Structure 1
Amino acid sequence: MKKKTAANIRLRNNLPNIITGINLILGYYALALTLKGEFKLASSIILIAMVMDGVDGKIAKLLSLEGDFGKELDSLADLISFGVAPALLLYRVFLINYAVWGFAASALLPLAGAIRLARFNLLSARKGFTGLPITIAGGAAACLVDVTFITGIAVLFAVIILSLLMLSAVPYPKLFPSFKNKKKGFLFIIAVSALLIASIWTQDNVFMLFLLAPYIAGGLIKCLPGVLHLKTKNSEHKLP
């Protein structure tokens, strides 16, 4: 009985890191699928990894298990799953025919993602994010594989925009709400995760792109009034 209790405690204490490990394995699997030419499946696997990444941090918070080790492990997993995996996927599907320009554009995704993750780890905890999270950028990039009418040039520009948004100071809110009640929190996480994974597995991934697009655009729209105000102020200063 004591051994069983000790094993349960160890499982509980390592649950967020186990989920992070699953995220990393899924990212590696997506890379393997891309090399095999199974592009649509690779896209779906990256999106499932995106769900796992949303779950691990919330569970760590609910169980009061947040720490530096988990944060660093999560960053390494995210770089593989949402930086390297979608970059290789887009390169193989769309950008390989654009020679050095295609390679350079695809390399921007993991590079910007790495900088974004390093910056996130150095910043103190906040209510939201500074710059587009790599998870959303990588997920959106993976969805492009299922957009039948998109061109390589459009993908090239999409990758550049996603990379710049990761490096930007555009504020983005956290996706999941905070729960004081652990039971309600766990039920919410399980329900939303199951729904998203079922949607990813059964629907075309363009559906997920429609879910992610408002979030990506929302940060820019929120910044627009401030940018317009700054331009107006600068114009007033230039008047004689």
Structure 2
Amino acid sequence: MTFLFPPFEPDRKNGRRRFSRLRRIPVRLLVPNMVTLLALCAGLTAMRLAIEHRFELAIAAIAFAAVLDMLDGRIARLLKSTSRFGAELDSLADFVNFGVAPGIILYVFALDELKSLGWIAVLILALATVLRLARFNVSLDAPNKPAWAQGFFVGVPAPAGAMVALLPIYLELIGIPHFDGTAVTSCFYIMGVAFLMVSRLPTFSLKKTGERVRRDLVLPIMLAVVLFFALLFSYPWTTLAVASAIYLATIPMAIIRYRTLARQHGDPGNDPIDETPAPPPEREPIELAEGKPDEKTPD
């Protein structure tokens, strides 16, 4: 029997083909990736809903994608199924969900009134998101940060940036009328959010909050979470608008807190605000076979 597309087999012997067995992959390795793909579907659906001017459902789809983005990494670590493939897939999904989809929603909402200028703002938001994700992926291979700096991001993370960028829509859904300057205000506002995403300003990170909680804070945290979701389901747009404003207000607090911890520990911790490259470490000359020192400088 001949095959239309025979597999590449460089180790054939005596003209007989040896087919490799199909490797079985544990289901636990697929679960985080399926969650990521589900989040990607939510982001793509949000763009369709925006085109149909169903902005409430579009924002709900983006929020759902943000929740799934928080869960997929935790599920992967819980099931011990982290992989390089999953990390790359997560970054690509985040670019669509939190860079492209919010821009399309805002363009259909108001920025189309500005024609090319509104589209430029959408492009800036998308480019800021992809640059922020690329910088984050590169930082994974960098040396570990000090323990006190683990609670900070460099710049506004993509999910938070997407939810904050949608603030003009929250305000209109609350009841603030659409006026002549809505498009211009929204344009410059999302450009500012894009700047915060690619900036080196420290922002609070919640990644470590789910690991350890002080005993005296268990009940207050549980009550706060229940209260937040109760308000979210009862007054969704007011809650999201207030939450966005509170998040923006925490950025100066994060900068002050970061600088305070840096002074207390006497370690700049690669200060995101004022980072200067460290001089290359000096190394002793290496004796070559001829007995002459190596004069090459480190890269």
> TM-score by structure 2 length?
0.62
Name the residue aligned to 2:76. 60
Name the residue aligned to 1:17. 33
- The 1:85/1:160 distance shift into structure 2, 3 A limit, reads same
- The 1:169/1:64 distance shift into structure 2, 3 A limit, reads same
Match of 2:162 among 138, 150, 160: 138
Name the residue aligned to 1:220. 252
More deviation, 32-41/145-154: 145-154
Off by >6 Å, runs of 4+ in structure 1 = 192-199
What does 1:65-214 align with in structure 2 at a 5 Å threshold?
65-124=81-140, 127=150, 128-148=152-172, 149=176, 151-176=182-207, 177-179=209-211, 203-214=235-246
More deviation, 80-89/34-43: 34-43
- Secondary structure of the residue aligned to 1:132 is coil
More deviation, 65-74/23-32: 65-74
Q: In the aligned structure 2, how far is the partner of 1:61 from the partner of 1:194?
A: 26
Q: In the aligned structure 2, how far is the partner of 1:136 from the partner of 1:224?
A: 20
Q: Is the 8 A contact 1:43 1:143 kept in 2?
A: no
Q: In the aligned structure 2, how far is the partner of 1:45 from the partner of 1:157?
A: 24
1:100 CA drift (Å): 1.5
Q: Is the 8 A contact 2:170 2:241 kept in 1?
A: no
Deviation sequence 1:170-205 (CA, Å, 0-9, x none): 112322424279xxxxxxxxxx99997886565433
Q: Is the 8 A contact 2:158 2:197 kept in 1?
A: yes
Q: In the aligned structure 1, how far is the partner of 2:65 from the partner of 2:192?
A: 22
1:54 CA drift (Å): 1.1
One-letter identity of the residue aligned with 1:158: Y
Q: Is the 8 A contact 1:96 1:102 kept in 2?
A: yes
Q: Which one has the bigger helix percentage?
A: 1
Q: In the aligned structure 2, how far is the partner of 1:88 from the partner of 1:140?
A: 15
Q: In the aligned structure 2, how far is the partner of 1:29 from the partner of 1:194?
A: 28
Q: Is the 8 A contact 1:51 1:196 kept in 2?
A: no
1:40 CA drift (Å): 1.8
- The 1:201/1:16 distance shift into structure 2, 3 A limit, reads farther
More deviation, 165-174/195-204: 195-204
Name the residue aligned to 1:189. none
Name the residue aligned to 2:56. 40
Gaps in structure 2 of 5+ consecutive residues: 1-23, 214-223, 260-299
More deviation, 114-123/91-100: 91-100
Q: In the aligned structure 2, how far is the partner of 1:17 from the partner of 1:45?
A: 18
One-letter identity of the residue aligned with 1:135: P
- Secondary structure of the residue aligned to 1:172 is strand
- Secondary structure of the residue aligned to 1:205 is helix
1:71 CA drift (Å): 1.2
Q: In the aligned structure 2, how far is the partner of 1:205 from the partner of 1:180?
A: 31
Cα RMSD of the aligned pairs, angstroms, is 3.0
Q: In the aligned structure 2, how far is the partner of 1:54 from the partner of 1:196?
A: 17
One-letter identity of the residue aligned with 2:189: A
Q: In the aligned structure 2, how far is the partner of 1:17 from the partner of 1:180?
A: 26
> TM-score by structure 1 length?
0.76
- Secondary structure of the residue aligned to 2:166 is helix
Q: In the aligned structure 2, how far is the partner of 1:109 from the partner of 1:13?
A: 32
